[in-house]
Amino acid sequence: MLGSKVVETLSAINGYRVIATGRSEVSFANVEYLRGDLTENEFIYRLCSYATYDVVIHCAAEVNLKKAEDEPQHSKKIHVEATERLAKRLNGAMFIYISTDSVFDGITGGYTESDQVKPLNEYARTKMEGERIVERFAPLHYILRTNIYGFQFPPKESLVEWAYKQLKNGQLIKGFTNVYFNPLYTKQLAELIWLFIEHAPAPGIYHAGSDESLSKYAFLLKVIRVLEFDATLMLPAEADYTGVVLKRPYNTFLNTSKLKQSLFMADTSIDSGIRSLAKDIKTNNL
């Protein structure tokens, strides 16, 4: 979801040569694509020897929380070991590691970069370990903790894609009123990554979220209004993560003051992100 927006955004910029990777068989206009598995040594070797990289943008992850929880070795391989190999081999490059707001336990919300992390599940724990690896092995690094929404074709199971499929079929959805976040549209994050590359602020961790904290219900309501769906198709509901094996945080609102001070020109408005999403959906006839 994010990777393809990053490729689309950066390959449109004059003077950028973009080399993308993934396991799927895909192609992008004007972009070299190396197909392979980042958990395999030989592929990392091939990728690293293919070119001299000025910037590495590490978006690859196992975002299926259930799979990440059930297969901890798999999570470790992609989030920790692959990150370590890339960071060690490409340590002369600017290394941008996409992390997650779920490194926090979500009890208070409003987290700054120096707040204590306390991941609740295997996905978040291994993403946090990936952060430590990047800090250790990549001197010029940006660790962007974020939450994102986006759309790809065919739609997968992310929040907006799931809601869109349901609503389009006239089916009811539930929106959680007690789970808070401040997500960015993938295009906003891709443009933000571009700003990091161009402006190179001080290396470190940055919280990359939208300006507003809102519940998933409030967020989906905005999406529903902009996409002109029937708002009565969404019912308010309360998430209950107590007693479940796969723990999730309730409030991962990220304080973005550091980001705004460093890159004040970044578009992190929730409303403009949703409008941009709607425009992309319309343009691509999704």
Ligand X SMILES: NC(=O)c1ccc[n+]([C@@H]2O[C@H](COP(=O)([O-])OP(=O)(O)OC[C@H]3O[C@@H](n4cnc5c(N)ncnc54)[C@H](OP(=O)(O)O)[C@@H]3O)[C@@H](O)[C@H]2O)c1
Going residue by residue from 67 to 86, which x/- string records binding to ligand X, judged by CB under 6 A? Answer: -----------x--------
Torsions phi, psi for 227 (to 5 deg): -85, 0
Nearer to ligand X, 181 or 228 (CB): 181
Q: Say whether residue 31 binds ligand X (CB under 6 A).
A: no
Q: How far is the CB of 42 from ligand X (least distance, A)?
A: 12
Q: Say whether residue 2 binds ligand X (CB under 6 A).
A: yes
Nearer to ligand X, 2 or 277 (CB): 2
Give the helix ranges, DSSP H, for 12-146: 41-50, 65-70, 72-76, 82-89, 122-137
Return the ∠ at Cα 111 (arms to 109 and 113), rounded to 5°: 165
Provide the phi-psi class of 265: left if phi over 0, else alpha when psi is between -120 and 50, else beta.
alpha
Single residue of 7, 61, 128, 193 touching ligand X by CB under 6 A: 61
Q: Say whether residue 273 binds ligand X (CB under 6 A).
A: no
Q: Which of residues 128-157 bind ligand X (CB under 6 A)?
A: 146-148
Q: Say whether residue 258 binds ligand X (CB under 6 A).
A: no
Helices (H) and strands (E) in the chain, counts: 11, 12
Single residue of 8, 16, 19, 37 touching ligand X by CB under 6 A: 37
Assigned token pair, 26: 């895909």
Q: Say whether residue 24 binds ligand X (CB under 6 A).
A: yes
Q: Say whether residue 27 binds ligand X (CB under 6 A).
A: no
Q: How far apart are the C-alpha atoms of 105 and 119, rounded to whole Å?
A: 6
Distance of CA 49 to the CA centre of its chain: 27
Q: What is the contact surface with ligand X in residues (CB under 6 A)?
A: 1-3, 22-24, 37-39, 59-63, 78, 98, 100, 127, 146-148, 158
